[in-house]
Structure 1
Amino acid sequence: MTTTPSEPTAPLSEAERSWRRQVVDETRASTALEGGSSTDAMRELQEQWVDGRITADELVAGARRLHPTSAPR
């Protein structure tokens, strides 16, 4: 996922929301091209980020909670 240019401290501008929508749509398309799909819970997290209800850090933390890995970090 691309880094976000700004995190919400006030309501998102339409340009920011549009950019976030594009990032999520491209991420989902890439996942589908690889034969995967997002869980409903992950899609909900993505929508919360698009709407500015959570930050990018919260999105990543939520994804890690939903899909833990045993790989070392």
Structure 2
Amino acid sequence: MLRFRAIAETASKVNANMENIGARRLHTIMTTLLKKPLFEQPKRGEKKFKITAKIVKESLDGILEDQDLSRYIL
């Protein structure tokens, strides 16, 4: 089962505060969230990993707080 509530809420907030680019924003946020776990995956050897609301918050809060950086990255 896939649940994307924290990720979708983050995408919605960014779309509300900046230009609304819809699903492209969600795609960008997913890419940002998955970049590190996917890069490290071969080293860990695990077959599964879970993106929790805490991970979403930790990964994106710094970007979301800085409007200039947010416009560039998200």
TM-score bracket relative to the smaller structure: 0.3 to 0.5
Question: Which protein has the bigger helix share?
Answer: 2
Normalising by the residue count of structure 2, what TM-score does the alignment of the two structures yield?
0.36
